């Protein structure tokens, strides 16, 4: 079975693009297990991954396509959590959603996608909310 760790943030459009991209892989209904990972950063109120709308939307799309889905919630640094989850599940691919940022914005705020790409040895599929993908 092909395992994909999908890092889901709170943006529904990005989560839908990620889910549709994975669901559109030929044979996805029989061959893919999707781990939907949401990192809360700090989570003092004890929120659960099932409460995150973007995660629920992605889960529904994938399940409708027949993809096996597992949900995980973490707290801490998102890029580290994604890489740890990919290692823990021996993922075949990490699936992320990129977003446009200026060079200054990337330098000041960082980029989870960039950090994951630079710090993992696993293939990373980057989806955009408009449905385009780049690997």
CATH of the domain at 75: 3.40.50.620
Provide mean pLDDT across the span 95-99.
Answer: 86
DSSP structure string for 74-124: E-S-HHHHHHHHHHHTT-SEEEEE-----HHHHHHH--HHHHHHHH-SS-E
Q: Total domain count for the chain?
A: 1
Could you list the residue range(s) of the whole structural domain that residue 86 is in?
2-134
- Segment 5-56, tens digit of pLDDT: 999 999 999 999 999 999 998 887 889 999 999 998 776 677 789 999 999 9
pLDDT at 108: 44
Classify residue 45 by burial, with Cβ atoms within 10 Å: 0-12, 13-18, 19+.
Answer: exposed
Beta strand 124-127 with 93-97 is parallel
Asked whether residue 124 carries a pLDDT value surpassing 90, the answer given is: yes
Backbone angles phi, psi at 124, to 5 degrees: -125, 125
């Amino acid at each position: 079975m092909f395992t994909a760790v999908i890092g889901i943030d709170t943006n529904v459009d990005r989560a839908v693009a990620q889910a549709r991209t994975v669901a559109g892989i030929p044979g996805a209904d029989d061959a893919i297990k999707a781990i939907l990972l949401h990192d809360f950063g700090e989570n003092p109120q004890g929120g659960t991954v099932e409460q995150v709308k973007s995660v629920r939307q992605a889960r529904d799309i994938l399940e409708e396509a027949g993809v096996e889905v597992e949900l995980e919630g973490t707290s801490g640094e998102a890029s580290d959590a994604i890489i740890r989850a990919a290692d823990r599940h021996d993922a075949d691919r990490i699936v992320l959603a990129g977003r446009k940022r200026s060079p200054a914005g990337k330098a000041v705020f960082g980029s989870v996608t960039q950090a994951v790409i630079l710090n993992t040895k696993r293939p990373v599929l980057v989806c955009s909310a408009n449905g385009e993908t780049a690997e």
